[in-house]
Every structure is written in C-alpha cells, then in structure tokens.
Structure 1
C-alpha cells in the first residue's frame, strides 16, 4: 500500500482513507476503513470521466448490478455514490490471492479443492442468474481465494441476458480463452446467457486442475477460433471431474448443466465448504463439512496468512474515530483551501494515533470478512498486502541498495541478445550513479534463465520477492516472458521488455508490464508496406510456419489480412511443424506466380526455405520479421542468406545521429561497438531511471515507479517511449523504432527506418 498524497482527501463520505492500493487511467483505489470499522476498497473515478455522460451511465449500471449481487460467494457492495462529483463505490476487502496467482505460484488444485471451488462458484453464478444477470467475464483473475471459500468479483460488464449494449458494434466482450462459443464467435448483438457463464466456469476449473486453459494460449483470433471449433484440452483433469467439466464445455448451450445443478453435483462430501463459511447453514447446495481438512493447498493457505498478518498493522477503528470524524458527507472531505484534511501543511492526518496496539488490530481483523477491491479500470483485482509497496530502505545500515535487475538469457540459445541487454542496462545505471544530485544510488543485478521457461518463472518469483528490486528489464524471449510475467504482476514489479514480440503479453492485461517495442502483429504492417512499395511485388507468397506458434501466426495471418484488405494478390501457404522438406511449399508458391516470399517463422526453418529458393535461382524479394535477425540464420543458410531482408524493432545505433553519444560511451566501457538490442535495453533502463528521478525520493515504491514510467514519455536513443495510462499499451508514432536489415556480404546491415507508407 502506498501512502496518501497531499492531493488525496482524508475521508470520503465518512470512510477514513488509509492509503492507495492502485491507480489507473480512470481513477484511484484506496484502502479505507468504514465508519463501522470494516476494511473496504474504495474506487474513485476521475472527474474528467465523470463528465462523460456515457461513462457515468455505465458506472451507475455497475453500482446497480453490484447492489443486486448478494450471495455468500460474491463480493458485497458496501457503499456507493454514482452521482457524486467524483463517483465512487466501496466493496468488501480481504487480503487473498486470485486463483490465477495461486495456480501460477503453487500449481494445480487437488480434487477436494476443485470440488469446493467449483461448487461455490456455481452457487455464486446461480445467485447471479436468479437476479436476472450474467457475469460474462468469469476467469481465474476474477476469483479471489479466502480460507472459507472463493469469491467471484468484477461485475463491471455483468448484464441482463437480453442486454446487448456492449456488443451492438460487434466488439467481443470478455476474456479470450474463457469465452463460450456463442460469445466468442456469434454475430453482433447475440446475447450471452447463463449457460455462457457455466462454460466459462468449466474453463476456470480446467485451469485450476491443470495449470493451463482448455483452449491453450496464443493470439486472440486463435483463441476465439478454438473456443468455437476445437475440442477442449482436459488432459490432466482428475477422472471423477472430467465428465462434469466436459459437460460444462459443450458447444451447444442447451447441453450444459444449469449453475444450480452443477453446484449440487459438485457439493458432495469432498466438495462441501469448510466449516464457518459465510451463510453456510443457509446454503441450499450442501451441508457444512465438519472435517478440518483444508480445501486450499497448504502453500496458498500460508500466502493468505502472510497477507492477513500484514493487515494487522493497519490503523484500528478506535484510532480512526479519535482523529475527529465528522458526519458522513456525499463526497471527499477537504479543507477550505481545497487540500486534504490534516495538519497545517494540508497533508492528510497520519499521526502516531494511526498506529494502534496489535491486540486492537487483531480484534478488527477477526471482525472483518468480505473479499475484494476493484481496480480503477474496473477489471483487475489488486491486493493490499502484496510486497509491491515496500520501499527499499537504502538509508538503513546493512540493507541492500535499491536495484534494477536484468532478467535474461545469458547462457542459452539467445545469449547474444541477453548479454547485449545486460550491458546496455549496466551502462545506463552507471551513468545515473555518476550524476550529482541523484536521489539515490542504484545497484545492478543480472539473473540468467538460460532460455528455460521454468527457470524464468523461478527467477521472476525470486526478484518479485526481493523488496530491494525496483524494476526489471527483460526477459529475452517470448517463452520466458510468458512464464515470468504473472509473478512480476502479482508483486506489481515494473517490467520493461524490449525483445519479446508476442501480442499475447499485452493482451493478458498485466498491470506492471511495459512492452517497449511494437508487437509481431504490427511488424506485418511494415512488411506489407515494404513488399508493395520498395519491393514492387505483384504477388506475395507467404509461408506461415506452424512451428513458430505465436510468431508465425501473428506475422503470417496479419500480413495475409492486410494484403487482402488492400486487394493485393497473394499466395498463402501454411506449413506443418513436422515438415523438414520445404521444397513442396516453395514450389507451390512459385508455380502460383509469387514474385516475393515472406517467411513467417524463425531463423532455423527460414534457413531451410532460403536454401530451396536459392536452389530454384529465385531473385525476388525474400523477407521475414526479427526472428531471422540472428547470426545463426547466416550460418545455417550460408550463401542462400544473401539478400534476405528482416523487418525488426531494433536499430544500429552507430548509424543514428542520436546514437553517437551512446556509441562512444559503450565503446569506452566495453571496448567495441554496441551489438543489437544494447541500445534498446539502454533506453528501457533510461525510462525507468527517469521515473526514479522524477519521484525525487530516496525511497521510491514499485507502485509509484510504475505510475511514473507509464505516465511520462521518455525520449531514448532509438525512439520515444510512451504508454497509454489506462492500458499500458505502447504509443506508436512516427518514431517507431522499426528498421530494415538486409544480408549483404554475409552479414546483416541496417538499411534505415522501415517505411510507413507505400509511394504513389
């Protein structure tokens, strides 16, 4: 939890604010204590959004939905003022992890835990459906875990089944990978009914049982297609539950069980809730299990206990009241000068009276129940007791210095890229530490995952658990990023990545992830411009290699779509991951008249295709994305590599006017010219360092640093880095950091920025 700022009120409608839990583009979430002493999460919408009549109407609807949700396994709305000058709502709060976090950190659930989880979530859905609503976004991140049972959260897009206001324009609402077929692939305006929630619950339970979603991961288009057409992957689901979940995942909504029937079916002896669950005696779905066996895995129980212990340090209700509360007001209480109520400086009152004896805090904790806080954007759960607010205590003797970490492949297949990024980071930090008047001195820590996703996950957990680590640059590859980002996000540890390209990293909605390069999907745009412009291609052949998974899909399918929209002739060819002989697909393209070829895949198989084209004496344009920008492509392809072009989000700083100072500093420090990705890592680190400098404190927090990094544009050596405040998405401008590289005389040479328009 971050401290309140001078601009924050001390109270809102009688609720005493204790600190900041999160901040997004649309508002702020505070941890507060109600007048009755309960801990609550209070979401306040920014004034500029409140002035939007459409947004205010949606906020009123969210409050109205929350008032109708009253079941024991859903969050309870405590208070709300949708018509206030700055609208706000308050919900119950518990310091528990989400299901997504629990599975990422501690693995799949046992059978008993799956039964309790499924039965109680089905009961929550039944209550929602009885109230005439559907949730429409049930996913692991929207399930909180508490010792007495799960809680279903986030009703921001819950609607009546016949309400199609969100889908009238054809936009898919919800989270791909957990959407039912009728929501993922139906025509615009088709209502999502209660059966869709049951399908999503089946997906959630498969995830809890196996650690992976039933329709895999990948680009959004692929996830939506699989939900509509493919059978779910339930391998690893315990046999006694597999049949139940397969019924939930039927493509036909009419064949799925109702939520009430599902709750009854799962609430056997193993599925009954633990003693003491909310309203357990009144539950129609099963009697309370008198056994003491926990329903949660032991590591998850320990995690909840740790976070509950952190809550003991919060101010007690008696001390809150002793600060002089006034009568409840309809909005924030402020001093006549407009600053927060408090001392003569205008700061909120945070006197020593806010530190009660431990016994009083424990009395309060025992009295509080409830579940959740909703993030400022309305779709993300944030937890108060994460270690993300810890300030590295640089001033204390014996404590480690605040640190910027490099997480990369320093010894595995992509060690050239990882080591280049490490050097770029070290140079930036050394220059920062040499500045007079800096707010603090930083340490550098380099962690090597060797390109192994399992090692990447362990490293992420280790870095996230070290309060001295303020930010991370990396990881190096898509696979290691996919394994690591959830752990970083759990701790709200800022992560800036410059080499992974999969669009899915951004689509997962990680709060702490800054994708400091255009995605592979965007690179297809530059390939399209190059082929139709500089290459003057009349018919483009596309080899989409399934062995490249995300990369192949995003490059190949996006390029094909762009060419189709432009009415440009193309010959697309999808190649099996098992194929090693590229002569048949290449011959198919050439026979169809392709005068240019794009390989949507990685360097090793691109080399195989390059050799076939060389043998066929093909002289047309041959292109790919950054996956072939690798010395291993040159080695594997030999003479056949000559003339190939790569569109890549990486520059040669020695060829940039803005890169002269960086190049000189790099050569002085490391004795040679900077390799690819050194400048990008230098810029990413510079972005973080600018955020630290802007905070002007020797004890910055991760949360404060993340807000600074996302909130302030930074001009780097290669490009300008700026992110959208509400989504964290990279803002793409004319200075986009995408360059053309061509193989000339056996090596890649940078040919300048990639063009963005086709000459007329």
Structure 2
C-alpha cells in the first residue's frame, strides 16, 4: 500500500481513506475504513470518465452485477454510488496476493492446492451462472488467495448470456491466453456462454499447476490463434487433475463440464487432522497453500491492521488523481483491466506533471520462465555472493541477453564490460570492480526476479539496464527498495520517469520527446503538408506516447493531420494506409514496432507512395529491414542511439571496442559505455573501496558527466535526464539495405 498523496481527499462518502492500493487509466483504488469500521477496497472513477454517459452506464451495470454475486468465493460488494458526481464502489478488502503473484514468487501450487482452487472457483462460477451471469475474464490476476480459499474479483465485463453488446461487432473481450476459442475468434452467441468461463478456469488451473499458461506467451494475435487452432500444453499437469483440465479445455463448448460438475469432481479428499487454514461445512482439510504464501498473507494482514493515522484535509477539486502505473493493487481491484486501462494514456498527478522545454521554444507536456538466469560472472567465476570474505564490489548488467531484444542487451553488456576493464587498468583507482550479468530474456516476471537477486547482493553497487520497458516496469520497485542505483539507456516510456523511483536514472530522452523531433523533421525538412499518424495498439505505451504527443503538437500549430488507431489484432494494414492516402496524407508516421512497421512499409510500396515514412527507435532493428525487404528503403528512424563513428571521441571508443571484441560497436554499446563510465566517475570521486549505495546514487545524480554520445546530468529529486541541446537523439535512414546514421536530429525548423 502507498501513502495518500496531497491531492487525495481524507474521506469519500463517509469512508476514511487510509492509503492507495493501486491506480490505473480509469481511476484509483484506495484502502478505506467504512463508517462501521470495515476495511474495504474503494474504487473511485476519474471525473473525466464520470462525465461520459456511456462509461457511467457501464459502471452502473458493473455495480448491478456485483450486487447479484453472492458466492462466498467471490469478493463481496459492500456499498456503491454509481450515480455520484464521482462514481465509486467498495468491495471487501482481501489482503492476500493474486494467484499470478503467488505463483510467480513461490512456484506452482501442490496438487491439493490446485484441487481446492478449482473447486472453489467452480462454485463461484456456478453461483454466478445461476444468477444469470458470466464472468468472461477469469485469469490468475483476477483470483485473490486467502487461507480459507480463493476469491474471484473484477466483474467489469461480466454480462448476462444474451447480452452481446460487447461482441456484436466482433470485438474480442477478455484476456488472450485465458479466453475460450469461441471468444477468441469473435463469434457472437456462444461467446458469452457459461462454457467460456469453464474454459478459462481450465487455463487458470494449468497455470496454478505448472506456472505457465496452456497456450504459451507472446503477442495477443499469436495467443488467439493458438487458442482457436492448437492443442493446449498440459504435459506437466499432475495426473490427478489432468483429465479434468483437458475436458475444460475442449474446443467444443458443448463438450465441457458445467461449473457444478467441476466443483464436484475437483473437491479434495478429506484429510485426517483438522487445520485452521481450511474448513468449510465441517470438512477437515490440510492447508491448501504453500507455507510461503500463507506467510505472505499473514504479513499483509498484519500490515493492514497497523495503519497510520490520517487527518482530514481539504483539497480543491475532488477528483483523485489517477496514475501512470498499472500497479498490482489496481489490477487486482479492477482498474487496470478496464477498456482503456493497459493501453490508455498515463494519467499523472499534478505533482508529477513535467513540462519539458527543448531548444526552439517548444514545450511538450509529458503526458501521460523461458530465459536462462545468469547469476554468475560471465568470465566463469561463481556469483560474488558465494565467494569467501566480503563481497567484491560489482557493477551489474541487467538485460535481455537471450530473448527478442538480445542484440541490444548484448551490446550494452559489452559496452559496460569495456568501461569496467578500462577502469580496472587505471593506476591509483580506489577499488577493483567485478562485472556481473543477469539475463531476463525479455520476460517481465524474470526481470522482477533478477532485480530481487541483484538488490539482495551487497556487492552490487550499481546496475545498468534493463533493456526493455516491460522489464524496467517490473524491476524498478525492487531496485528502489534497496536504493540500488539503476541507469537505463534503452527503455523510453515516460511512465518510468514520473513514478518517483528514488534510485532510477533515465539516461535517455523519453519517447514523448522523440515526437518533437519527428514533428521538426517532417514539417521543416521533409516539407510535409498533411501528416498521417498510425497509432499501433500492439505497441502499448510507446505507440500512444509517440502518436498522441505528435498529434498534440500538430493540433497546437494548426498543421493538418490524419490520425488512425489500429487494433493489436489487425495484420492487414491495407485499409489503414488507404484511409490515410485518401485523406491526402503526404507523409506517414508509424508509432509501433519493427515487425508491424514492415507490414505498413510493404503496403506503402505497393501503393507507390513517395512521401516521407518515419518512426521512432523500435524500427531501428535488423528485423525491420529483413521483414520489409526493399520496402524498407528510405524509411527514417528518430532514435536515442548514436553511431560512434560520427561523434567527437567516438574513434577512440570504436578502436578500443574493436580490439576487445573483434568488430565495430553495435548500436547501444556506446550508450552503455557512457552510462557505466558515469557511474565509475562517481565512484572515483567517492575515493572509498566500500561506498554505500545511497552515497553512490547521490554522486551519480549530483555530478554531470560528458560522455561520447551526450552529456549525462540528472535532476536530483527525480532522476530525469536534464534536457539540453545535446540529447543524444539521431536520425537513421535505410540506405542500400541497412540503417545509416544521418547525424543529430534537428531541434528547430529552418526559417
């Protein structure tokens, strides 16, 4: 739980607010005490959504559905006011973790735990179905755990079986990987039936038993395809429940058991010896949860009782500020997964808003596992923590070294290693450093575990990384708790910069600022008269930050634009491109990733489009050139990465890199080299062989460093990069089948 902010009221409708459980694009979830003394999770909707008649009607429907749910295994609605100026609802407070968190932290449940989980959730679904409703979004994040059994939450998209208002147009409703085939292919009629909930329960049981979903992970469209066409992977599901799970996952809805059948078939065998951890209707049961999960629940229950005093405050304006992060609390209480939540604009509190001024006078509102985990020094030694004696001072690289972005992660590892080796070769250095590398494989769950290990190792003084935005979002909280300095050179989401992490230094301009450079280039150098903008929802935060900021800039200046939003499930970009061209767009900006940019490039080539084609850094990737082929020629990327050969001081770095690794430096090697040298310079200034992490953090933030690629200086209170003329942003263009650097990105439109 987070402390209340100064913008939060002390009370809402007689409920005394105690803290924040989470927040998302639609509003805030508070921990509150009712007038009768009951602890509740109070979900409050942002005023701007309350003014939307359609949203308010959906919220009323959610409240009405929650009132009809009476199962002991579903979170109970305590009170609600859907017609208030700021609609709210209060449910009983559940201090336990979600099933997703418990499995991620402590591994799969034992067989008995899977049976208890399945039986209780099946009872909840049966009660729901008997009330004439279907849930439609059963997944591990929507199941909370308590010692007496699970609790089903989030009825935001639950409906009566004959209500097709959300599926009549073929819209897929639910979470890919956990929804039924009839939902995944957009069929109406069947898609909202109770059998779909049973299929989802089967997926949840596979996850609980094995730690992975039955149709794998990956892009939404790939998951939807597998659910419809592929057999589920239940190889590791224990034999005691495997047959039941297979029946739940039958492609034919009519062949699946009912929820009532499942509750009977999954009921655990009575266990001799009563236990306080379970016991329904005289049933003598052994504890169903692993001991570490029980301890986690006990810890959170104790923390909920040890609540700070809250004094009443008056706040001008009653709307609680939403936040940019999709925290665990928000997800568990139904904020983050509403339509508009995960891909919606990050909403910043007044104290977190930043205006970033760039040369030229423009002001931008910065709105808003499978992987091998390498715990050893890559030179072959054991982890520093296992060596006898005091831990050796270490600089760590946290990166994707084996997943989709491994080229970037490996480049950063080599840049870091070269900087440390040069530091260790200096006479008179205050200490000799080790290098440690950790691979998250591009998996956020693995990134969270990596961060926990590095934060717990007292020898690790600082971390360079992670490689990607999702990994950073998952890892930064652990680093912040340990005050372990973290310098990131490739993640770009503005949400990372505004969440207030004390130990985070964002060593590149955020994605929102890249839209400024795109605007300057297209209008000032490409001479575009009408700019087409494609916001690809598959790119999540990145797509929105680029497209919305560019659109705002064009709107402010009255420059014509043609914005288009594309579903993450769409693979055919011909209708989108044709719409842009029919509206007179003479340049196109694609706000998305490399693979889907290649699809757009091919359509533009086929349409013989001769205007400027541009995107941000995600297309600066060999995968774009390979997938697009000759259609990639001429595409421009605005990216926070340099070609050292074009920079002052870059020749010496390039030569040193070539001597050490036998080839020219790849992209992001120089940026990691600069970030590491900044940390090393701060270490040298402290002149101690055992600096405290907080002292090193203060030195990094307090001392500007001139690197090869840019000047690195941070705001002491936020860790944001100080914006200057030398921001390390460059133009790259595909010429003769490869991206070639064109030099620094211009910051002013020529007169």
Aligned partners of 1:648 and 1:113: how far apart in 2?
51
Give the direction of change, closer, same or farther, for the CA distance of 1:50–1:664 in structure 2 (3 Å limit).
farther
Paired residue for 1:448, among 428, 433, 437?
437
Superposed CA offset, 1:628-654 (max 9, x none): xxxxxxxxxxxxxxx999979553166
Q: What's 1:123 paired with?
A: 123
Q: What's 1:652 paired with?
A: 642
Alpha-carbon distance, 1:44 to partner: 1.3
Alpha-carbon distance, 1:47 to partner: 1.4
Which residues in structure 2 correspond to 1:342-741 (within 5 Å)? 373-375=333-335, 378=338, 407-408=398-399, 414-420=409-415, 448-449=437-438, 458-462=449-453, 474-476=465-467, 499=490, 559-560=598-599, 563=602, 567=606, 651-652=641-642, 676-677=667-668, 739-740=732-733
Aligned partners of 2:122 and 2:69: how far apart in 1?
14
Alpha-carbon distance, 1:162 to partner: 1.6
Superposed CA offset, 1:487-524 (max 9, x none): 667999899976589x9xx9xxx999999679997799
Aligned partners of 1:55 and 1:184: how far apart in 2?
24
2:4 touches 2:19 (CA, 8 Å); kept in 1?
yes
Give the direction of change, closer, same or farther, for the CA distance of 1:221–1:236 in structure 2 (3 Å limit).
same
SS at 2:122 equivalent: helix
Aligned partners of 1:56 and 1:273: how far apart in 2?
51
Give the direction of change, closer, same or farther, for the CA distance of 1:279–1:167 in structure 2 (3 Å limit).
farther
Aligned partners of 1:78 and 1:473: how far apart in 2?
46
Q: What's 1:295 paired with?
A: 288
Alpha-carbon distance, 1:468 to partner: 14
Aligned partners of 1:127 and 1:107: how far apart in 2?
30
Q: What's 2:226 paired with?
A: 226
Superposed CA offset, 1:267-305 (max 9, x none): 031699986689932xxxxxx4314x2101122122222
2:398 touches 2:440 (CA, 8 Å); kept in 1?
no
Q: 5+ residue gaps in structure 1? A: 282-287, 324-332, 341-370, 382-402, 426-443, 534-552, 570-599, 611-619, 625-642, 697-704, 721-734, 756-760
Give the direction of change, closer, same or farther, for the CA distance of 1:247–1:719 in structure 2 (3 Å limit).
farther
SS at 1:196 equivalent: helix
Superposed CA offset, 1:75-117 (max 9, x none): 0111111111111111111221111111111111111010001
Q: What's 2:41 paired with?
A: 41
Alpha-carbon distance, 1:197 to partner: 0.5
Q: What's 2:254 paired with?
A: 254
SS at 2:192 equivalent: coil
SS at 1:126 equivalent: helix
Alpha-carbon distance, 1:474 to partner: 3.1
Superposed CA offset, 1:412-463 (max 9, x none): 98543235479999xxxxxxxxxxxxxxxxxx99862157789856422335
Q: What's 1:305 paired with?
A: 298
Superposed CA RMSD in Å reads: 5.9
Q: What's 1:578 paired with?
A: none
Aligned partners of 1:192 and 1:498: how far apart in 2?
45
2:69 touches 2:131 (CA, 8 Å); kept in 1?
yes
Alpha-carbon distance, 1:242 to partner: 0.9
Q: What's 2:154 paired with?
A: 154
Give the direction of change, closer, same or farther, for the CA distance of 1:22–1:124 in structure 2 (3 Å limit).
same
Q: What's 2:357 paired with?
A: none
Aligned partners of 2:6 and 2:653: how far apart in 1?
42
Q: What's 2:145 paired with?
A: 145
Aligned partners of 1:511 and 1:127: how far apart in 2?
43
2:45 touches 2:88 (CA, 8 Å); kept in 1?
yes
TM-score, normalised relative to structure 1: 0.57
Q: What's 1:216 paired with?
A: 216
SS at 2:25 equivalent: coil
Identify the structure with bigger relative contact order (alpha carbons < 8 Å, sequence gap 6+). Answer: 1
Q: How many residues are paired up?
A: 535
SS at 1:78 equivalent: strand
Alpha-carbon distance, 1:33 to partner: 1.0
SS at 1:449 equivalent: strand
Q: 5+ residue gaps in structure 2? A: 319-330, 343-393, 421-432, 515-535, 547-571, 578-591, 609-618, 679-693, 702-713, 747-751
SS at 1:269 equivalent: coil
Give the direction of change, closer, same or farther, for the CA distance of 1:450–1:48 in structure 2 (3 Å limit).
closer
2:108 touches 2:211 (CA, 8 Å); kept in 1?
yes
SS at 2:228 equivalent: helix
1:195 aligns with 2:189: no
SS at 1:290 equivalent: coil
2:412 touches 2:673 (CA, 8 Å); kept in 1?
no
Aligned partners of 1:170 and 1:648: how far apart in 2?
36
Alpha-carbon distance, 1:684 to partner: 11
